[in-house]
């Protein structure tokens, strides 16, 4: 019987012996099951360059883009990545999927934030326009003819 470890109410099994079908695991689960010291060893070159909060956030987004694309979909994995790069809040990486492509284009972290905020605002404006147009559309209300009364 395999040994089970528990991480925040989750049961995670080590690799299964040969002959058994292995379950598909995504990058976030693999990231969560890997001990932090192994992650530090794996990404030491990137982590040694971190000096400021902005460097930490930049490095985290680069790690997401290059190695762990599933992390933004997991609060636990986002928190572990934040701890790995020296930040304290999982929200720095949770639901932050599009930074990597902008950083690859040569944009700074601030420029990437502004670009994503503008894209988000345009999406909200379109959504607001669609909702407003539906409110302005009136339906024709037909009254039913009055029923004849019997006397």
Is 84 contained in some domain?
yes
Triad 136, 140, 145: Cα angle to 5°: 155
Does residue 52 sit in the same domain as residue 65?
Answer: yes
Query: Is the whole model's pTM more than 0.85, yes or no?
Result: no
Print the domain residue range for 120. 98-133
Are 7 and 69 part of one and the same domain?
Answer: yes
pLDDT band at 14 (very low <50, low <70, confident <90, very high): very low
Say what the pLDDT of residue 133 is: 64
Total Cβ atoms within 10 A of residue 71? 29
Determine, yes or no, domain membership for 3: yes
Residue 3 pLDDT level (bands cut at 50, 70, 90): very low
The pLDDT-based confidence of 26 (bands split at 50, 70, 90) is low
Please indicate, yes or no, if residue 112 is contained in any of the structural domains: yes
Q: Which residues contact 15 (CB under 8 A, 6 or more apart)?
A: 22
Residue 151 lies in a domain: no
Last residue of a domain, one of 71, 97, 123: 97
- Tell me, yes or no, whether 123 and 68 share the same domain: no
Per the structure, the count of domains in the chain is 2
Residue pLDDT, tens place only, 105-132: 888 888 888 888 888 888 777 777 666 6
One domain, residues 102 and 46: no
Q: Assess if residue 46 is contained within a domain.
A: yes
Do 68 and 2 share a structural domain? Answer: yes
Residues 77 and 105 in one domain: no
CA pair distance 118, 139, nearest whole angstrom = 35
* C-alpha of 87 from chain center: 16
| Of the listed ranges 52-66, 78-92, 133-147, the one predicted with least confidence | 133-147
**Per the structure block, which two tokens stand in for 101?**
């492509």
pLDDT recorded at residue 2: 46
Give yes or no: residues 37 and 52 share one domain. Answer: yes
Please tell me the distance from the alpha carbon of residue 4 to that of residue 11, in angstroms, as a whole number: 7
36 and 84 share one domain? yes
Give domain status of residue 38, yes or no: yes
Output the CA torsion sign for 59, 60, 63, 69.
negative
102 and 91 within one domain? no
């Amino acid at each position: 019987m395999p040994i089970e470890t528990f991480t925040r109410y989750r049961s995670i099994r080590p690799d299964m012996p040969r002959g058994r079908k292995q379950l598909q695991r995504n990058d976030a689960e693999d990231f969560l099951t890997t001990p932090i010291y192994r992650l530090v060893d794996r990404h030491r070159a990137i982590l040694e360059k971190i000096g400021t909060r902005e460097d930490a956030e930049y490095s985290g987004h680069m790690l997401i883009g290059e190695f762990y694309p599933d992390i933004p979909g997991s609060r636990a994995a986002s928190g572990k990545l934040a701890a790995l790069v020296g930040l304290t809040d999982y929200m720095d990486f949770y639901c932050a999927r599009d930074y990597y492509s902008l950083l690859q284009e040569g944009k700074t972290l601030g420029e990437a934030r502004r670009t994503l905020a503008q894209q988000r605002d345009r999406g909200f404006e379109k959504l607001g326009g669609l909702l407003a147009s539906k409110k302005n559309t009136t339906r024709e209300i037909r009254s039913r003819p009055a029923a004849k009364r019997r006397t």
